[in-house]
């Protein structure tokens, strides 16, 4: 046997031993009286590694859910993965049994990327509880009104930026929400352009969006790979993780708000896409604003109870293109039974994007309205979008109020229409999202212009208005 072959077989043998050890120590390996939930047939040792899709995984999970049911079992190198395919299953396990399912997986990627400080990713326990409690004290429904002037100020700055350079939509959305969060949480006033903190928020969100997807990086399931040098073929992940870790360390001085910034950015970006694809929705919303707000002022938070259709648009934006289609992973801390199946201790559970509404691909705010009021009988999509149980996002009320004021104000003064090509024909647009832990609309063409001379005047007048608290 050649030296080259021997040198190759040694690490392979070590790898096999490690995989067997993980398999034998995993709770799901030992016999139980209850069966595991159904799912794709795993391979020996590897499990379902080769079944995990690399792009738009929630599409595959939806297909599997139709075949196997709303609770599925996968195995990745000995790690049990539970995929929840319905809000009912998620509510039963993650909400009603939150004492068992509120933990987070011990993630190699979280550690390598330096995200241990982020309480959304912390394991459930004595470090997480006081951190979340402190955050909740500043963002529960009874106190978020104190941030309204900051939200108004940044929304109106957003209008001015859109008027000046409408071709930079995504940049302006990032800036608007980054500036709002930095002021509200830390009292940081950002510059009108090229602010270092806003740029850092945008940059730091890219790592988790790409990394925290099941099967994206094998090092998550084989931690020994973390010791492979970056120059070794196939170890290119080391350079990516090093870059993302540097971003995380730099961000540590302004913590907690990355998830909210990325979430609201993607949701508002999807709103602009929806307005191009569904012009009748835009016209109906503008008619409501014209009738209830009028042409002489901009909407404010006092208008929120009466703007039923705008509130329905906010809900539909949360539902239509779920920006976190797999949610954040939960970990079970004990064996548990559901529908006659065993969910082993240490399982990682997540919810794929469920289609629980009629005509789910259509953008239809009307689905949330009945007899001129918001219909409480229809499931509120925020109950899916913001998580479950003890790990529900504590900043959800702040995020929804930010979405409301931005959507209402933009629709009041701007028309959002398809772009026109050089030949004078409308450029077609499709509703497509990127793949990742956080999913964003694929870049699309558009045209944004003031609805009227009076609307443009309202925008320009905001530079003279002191709306800061």
Local confidence band at 158 (pLDDT 50, 70, 90 cut-offs): very high
Q: Which of 314-318, 367-371, 394-398, 401-405 has the lowest mean pLDDT?
A: 394-398
Report the alpha-carbon distance of residue 286 to residue 411 in Å, rounded: 6
For CA atoms 101, 105, 110, 115, give the dihedral sign.
Answer: positive
Contacts of 302 (CB under 8 A, 6+ apart): none
pLDDT number for residue 56? 79
pLDDT number for residue 355? 66
Residues forming a β-bridge with 71 = 84
* Of the candidates 312, 319, 322, the residue with the CA atom closest to the CA atom of residue 281: 312
CA-to-CA dists, residue 421 to 44, 231, 274, 431, angstroms: 54, 46, 20, 19
When pLDDT is averaged across residues 204-220 and rounded to a whole number, the result is 69
Q: Locate 395 and state its tokens.
A: 């900043």
pLDDT number for residue 254? 53
When pLDDT is averaged across residues 308-328 and rounded to a whole number, the result is 89
pLDDT number for residue 358? 84
Are 278 and 429 in contact by the 8 Å Cβ rule? The answer is no
| 261 pLDDT more than 70 | no
Q: Locate 181 and state its tokens.
A: 């969060």
Task: Give backbone dihedrals phi and psi of 337, rounded to 5 degrees, phi first.
Answer: -110, 140
pLDDT number for residue 150? 92
pLDDT above 90 covers a percentage of the chain that reads 36
Are 396 and 439 in contact by the 8 Å Cβ rule? The answer is no
Segment 27-36, tens digit of pLDDT: 444 445 789 9
Q: In terms of residues, how long is the chain? A: 469
Segment 109-145, tens digit of pLDDT: 777 777 777 777 777 888 878 878 877 887 888 888 9
pLDDT number for residue 469? 39
| 2 pLDDT more than 50 | no
| 309 pLDDT more than 70 | yes
Give the helix/strand (H/E) hosting 297: none
According to DSSP H, which parts of 69-143 are helical? 87-90, 98-101, 108-112, 128-139
Local confidence band at 10 (pLDDT 50, 70, 90 cut-offs): very low
Report the alpha-carbon distance of residue 151 to residue 413 in Å, rounded: 17
* Residue 393 labeled ligand binder: yes
Q: Locate 339 and state its tokens.
A: 């529908």
State the average pLDDT for the chain.
82
Report strand pairing: 414-417 vs 369-370: unpaired
Residues forming a β-bridge with 370 = 373
Local confidence band at 300 (pLDDT 50, 70, 90 cut-offs): very high
| 5 pLDDT more than 50 | no
| 173 pLDDT more than 60 | yes
Neighbour-count burial for 327-358, b at 16+ CB within 10 Å, e otherwise = bbbbbbbebbebeebbbbbbbbbbbbbbeebe
Domain map of the chain by residue range? 32-464
Segment 26-67, tens digit of pLDDT: 544 444 578 999 999 999 988 888 888 777 787 888 888 889
Q: How many CA atoms lie less than 13 Å away from 141 in the CB half-sphere?
A: 1
When pLDDT is averaged across residues 158-177 and rounded to a whole number, the result is 92
When pLDDT is averaged across residues 357-386 and rounded to a whole number, the result is 90
Higher pLDDT, 127 or 271: 271
> 3-state class of 414 per DSSP?
strand
Superfamily of domain 32-464: Cytochrome P450 (1.10.630.10)
């Amino acid at each position: 046997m050649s030296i080259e072959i021997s040198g190759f077989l040694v690490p392979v043998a070590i790898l096999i031993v490690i995989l067997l050890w993980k398999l034998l120590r995993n709770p799901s390996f030992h016999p139980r009286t209850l069966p595991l939930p159904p799912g794709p047939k795993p391979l020996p040792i590897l499990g379902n590694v080769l079944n995990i899709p690399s792009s738009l995984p929630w599409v595959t999970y939806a297909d599997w859910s139709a075949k196997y049911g709303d609770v599925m079992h996968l195995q990745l190198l000995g790690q049990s993965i539970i995929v929840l395919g319905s809000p009912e299953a998620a509510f039963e396990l993650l909400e009603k049994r939150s004492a068992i399912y509120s933990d987070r997986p011990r993630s190699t990627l979280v550690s390598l990327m330096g995200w241990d400080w982020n309480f959304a990713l912390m394991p459930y326990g004595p470090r997480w509880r006081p951190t979340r409690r402190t955050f909740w004290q500043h963002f529960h429904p009874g106190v978020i009104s104190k941030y309204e002037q900051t939200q108004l100020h940044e929304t109106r700055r957003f209008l001015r930026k859109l008027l000046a350079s409408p071709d930079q939509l995504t940049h302006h959305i990032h800036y608007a929400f980054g500036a709002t969060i930095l002021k509200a949480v830390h009292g940081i006033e950002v510059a009108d352009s090229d602010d270092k903190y806003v740029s850092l928020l945008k940059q730091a969100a890219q790592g988790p969006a790409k990394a925290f997807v099941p099967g994206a990086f094998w090092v998550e399931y084989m931690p020994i790979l973390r010791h492979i040098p970056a120059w070794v073929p196939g170890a290119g992940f080391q350079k990516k993780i090093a870059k993302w870790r540097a971003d995380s360390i730099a961000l540590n001085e302004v913590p907690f708000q990355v998830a909210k910034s990325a979430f609201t950015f993607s949701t508002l970006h999807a709103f602009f896409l929806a307005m191009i694809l569904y012009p009748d929705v835009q016209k109906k919303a503008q008619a409501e604003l014209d009738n209830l707000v009028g042409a002489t002022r901009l909407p404010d938070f006092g208008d929120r109870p009466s703007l039923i259709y705008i509130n329905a648009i906010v809900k539909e934006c949360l539902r239509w293109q779920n920006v976190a289609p797999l949610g954040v992973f939960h970990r079970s801390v004990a064996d548990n039974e559901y529908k006659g199946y065993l969910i082993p201790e240490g399982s990682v559970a997540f919810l794929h994007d469920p289609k629980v509404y009629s005509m789910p691909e259509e953008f239809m705010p009307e689905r949330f309205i009945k007899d001129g009021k918001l219909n409480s009988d229809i499931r509120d999509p925020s109950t899916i979008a913001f998580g479950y149980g003890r790990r529900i996002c504590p900043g959800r009320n702040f995020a929804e109020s930010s979405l409301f004021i931005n959507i209402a104000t933009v629709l009041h003064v701007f028309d959002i229409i398809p772009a026109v090509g050089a030949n004078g024909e409308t450029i077609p647009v499709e509703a497509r999202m990127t793949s990742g832990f956080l999913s964003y609309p694929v870049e699309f063409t558009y045209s944004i212009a003031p609805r009227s001379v009076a609307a443009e005047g309202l925008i320009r007048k905001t530079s003279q208005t002191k709306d800061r608290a």
